Structure 1
Amino acid sequence: MLPVDVHVHRVSGRLGLIGHKVSADAAHNLLQALLPEDARSIYDFHKGLLRHGQRTCVYEHPHCSKCLLTDLCDYYKGITQPA
């Protein structure tokens, strides 16, 4: 079972894996469906997004210049491309 804490929820939303208005409960089901069913994959995904949300993709001022995921990130594309 994939835990969706604030970090996983925020990073998933910024990457476009879930919609911006998706609740943590709904995000759990959506993200779980994207992953293989083995416990190791679920744990690694959770741990990776958790750490990324704590260290790079922080709440108020994400460190996009240090991020390795900018080519996949809806949030980054939204702040760097003209409207």
Structure 2
Amino acid sequence: MKVYPLEKISVHGAIYHKKCFKCMECHSILRMDSYSYNQGLLYCTPHFKRLFITKGNYDTAFGLEQHKEKWNASVA
């Protein structure tokens, strides 16, 4: 999809159309001064905080495998 210069938002090496710059949880359109970015995904500040506080770490809260689990893997 073509994004015109006046309608584009460029963050973390990715280009978004203004209307596609949305929170992964609530799908609200984000602003440059109130978004959070984690593992390539965008969140509004309230949802980012809620997900982090609920689980207490970035990996579990955002559906990723915890790093400590990778360390505990036994080598056969």
**TM-score scaled by structure 1?**
0.33
Q: Which structure has the greater CA radius of gyration?
A: 2
More helix by share: 1
Q: TM-score, normalized by length of structure 2?
A: 0.35
Q: Which has the higher strand share?
A: 2
